[in-house]
């Protein structure tokens, strides 16, 4: 395996060599070359007794915030046909990599006004965009709110599960989000009449979840969190 490195990344290729009748090493041909269109990463090589060269390939080369364990790996087999190496076994394409999701969340300031019953209520508009190239199977919103600030109104019906009304963080689970799509929610919050809650800043986090409801890590994570000022 040969790699030409520029910085921390470079093109890779697997090349086959043999010996001629005089014992001189000669190049047979290139087995496979990494590519921007993928596979970007050549990981390992095995040569079978039947002449098939097996190469372990990864869809995305690690680096620049991309962890190696996020890359999808496959074994592909190549055989010399007399003129070049051609693929004879293994997958020929990669599925969409879930870690290429990129959620961006924003929220407008929450301004509380006095209601007729003496409580204070207001609303915030939450926007969650998927600016990545992979879909989010589902999206989880977490509102780290003061205990006095509770969900209020019909806007929360967009959540798959009813948000908690007791103190502590509030979670809102949403459906899938395709690349280029967005959720826009108008959510109400209320403070009880006898609570002296002053101005402050809460925090809102948006995360993509997989089929097991585990968080899918992203390369760009700083835009998964946004402040939610209230006053």
Residues 78 and 181 in one domain: no
Question: Token pair 């968080």 is at which residue?
Answer: 215
Please report the sign of the dihedral spanned by the C-alpha atoms of residue 214, residue 217, residue 218, residue 223.
positive
Residue 224, C-beta contacts closer than 8 angstroms, at least 6 positions apart: 103, 104, 105, 205, 206, 207, 218
**What tokens appear for 85 in the block?**
């190496």
Whether pTM exceeds 0.85: yes
Residues 67 and 118 in one domain: no
Q: For residues 182-210, give the mean pLDDT.
A: 97
Give me the pLDDT at residue 202, please.
Answer: 98
**What tokens appear for 114 in the block?**
């006095």
3-state secondary structure labels for all residues of 129-179 = EECCCCCECEEEEEEECCCCCEEECHHHHHCCCCCCCCCCCEEEEECCECC
| Domain stops at, among 95, 126, 161 | 95
Residues 138 and 170 in one domain: yes
Residues 114 and 47 in one domain: no
Residues 219 and 127 in one domain: yes
| Domain stops at, among 75, 95, 115 | 95
77-91, 96-110, 165-179, 195-209: the lowest-pLDDT one: 165-179
Domain of residue 118, CATH code: 2.60.40.1510
Residues 196 and 219 in one domain: yes
The string of pLDDT tens digits covering residues 15-53 is: 999 999 999 999 999 999 999 899 999 999 999 999 999
Question: Token pair 């990129």 is at which residue?
Answer: 102
Please report the sign of the dihedral spanned by the C-alpha atoms of residue 172, residue 174, residue 179, residue 184.
negative
Domain coverage including residue 197:
99-230
Residues 70 and 36 in one domain: yes
Question: In which band, very low, low, confident or very high, does the pLDDT at 182 lie, cut at 50, 70 and 90?
Answer: very high
Residue 188, C-beta contacts closer than 8 angstroms, at least 6 positions apart: 121, 122, 123, 151, 152, 153, 155, 156
Residues 169 and 190 in one domain: yes
Please report the sign of the dihedral spanned by the C-alpha atoms of residue 194, residue 196, residue 199, residue 204.
negative
Cβ neighbours around 118 below 10 Å, total: 9
Residues 103 and 205 in one domain: yes
Question: In which band, very low, low, confident or very high, does the pLDDT at 178 lie, cut at 50, 70 and 90?
Answer: very high
| Domain stops at, among 53, 70, 95 | 95
Residue 165 has pLDDT above 70, yes or no: no
Residues 196 and 153 in one domain: yes
How many domains does one find in the chain? 2
Residues 106 and 89 in one domain: no
Residues 191 and 225 in one domain: yes
Q: For residues 159-186, give the mean pLDDT.
A: 90
């Amino acid at each position: 395996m040969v790699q030409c490195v520029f910085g921390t990344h470079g093109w890779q290729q697997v090349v086959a060599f043999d010996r001629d009748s005089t014992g001189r090493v000669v190049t047979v041909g290139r087995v496979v070359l990494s590519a921007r269109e993928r596979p970007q990463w050549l990981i390992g090589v095995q040569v079978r007794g039947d002449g098939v060269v097996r190469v372990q390939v990864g869809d995305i080369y690690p680096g620049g915030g991309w962890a190696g364990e996020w890359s999808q790996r496959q074994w592909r087999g190549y055989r010399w046909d007399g003129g070049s190496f051609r693929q004879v076994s293994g997958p020929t394409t990669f599925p969409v990599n879930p870690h290429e999701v990129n959620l961006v969340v924003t929220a407008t300031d929450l301004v509380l006004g006095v209601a007729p019953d003496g409580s204070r209520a207001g609303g915030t508009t939450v926007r969650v965009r998927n600016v990545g190239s992979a879909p989010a199977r589902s999206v989880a919103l977490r509102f780290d709110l003061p205990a006095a600030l509770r969900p209020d109104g019909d806007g929360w019906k967009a959540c798959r599960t009813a948000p908690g009304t007791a103190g502590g963080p509030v979670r809102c689970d949403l459906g899938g989000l395709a690349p280029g799509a967005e959720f826009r929610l108008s959510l109400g919050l209320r403070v009880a009449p006898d609570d002296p809650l002053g101005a402050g800043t809460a925090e809102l986090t948006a995360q993509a979840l997989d089929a097991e409801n585990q968080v899918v890590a992203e390369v760009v994570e700083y835009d998964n969190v946004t402040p939610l000022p209230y006053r």
